Amino acid sequence: MTTILLARHGETDWNRDLRVQGHSDTPLNEAGRAQARELARSLAGEPIHAIYASDLARARETAEIVAAARKLEVLSERGLRERSFGSWEGLTRQEIDDRFGARSTHDGESDEAVRVRVLAAVHRIVAAHPAQVVLVVSHGGALNSIWHHASGDRIERWPNCAVYRLAFRDGNFTPID
């Protein structure tokens, strides 16, 4: 059995301002760095063998803060990126409504495209780490794709630096929490 610890990145200014981030490469803010340090402390007792992160700065920096205390390298995985929201990125909900209309849908990636991309990345990760514990630092939408696949449920708002645990056994993901 491989155990996967799914963690969302720390806060960014765009999170705080409720701006759509998607593939936009926004950095952590000071609150996000503090959240990442707390994540590192909360995982101190976990036997983590590898740490993977989305290639976007906010996830990578969160993972690097956790990895530093363990002297582990952060492995970058582009497949763990957040959904592309296309022309919505950088905008607040009000700005989206004003610009595109209240019932508009984004012109970025579909749910299915995100699910396929993210699950392929996680399958590569578990194949590389059989019977180990792996931390995956990613984004709310990407993590929700994995969680929904495993549990059938969605997490309404994935908190910054929250951790959810999955087991991968016999080709299936199962929630541990």
- Residue 129's alpha-carbon distances to 4, 10, 72, 79, in angstroms, are 10, 25, 14, 17
55 alpha carbon, distance to own chain's centre: 11
Structure tokens, 136? 């995956």
Q: Find the farthest-apart pair of alpha carbons in the chain and give their distance in angstroms, rounded.
A: 50
Which residue is it, tokens 């983590």?
48
Catalytic site residues? 9, 82
**Residues 52/78, Cβ–Cβ less than 8 Å:** no
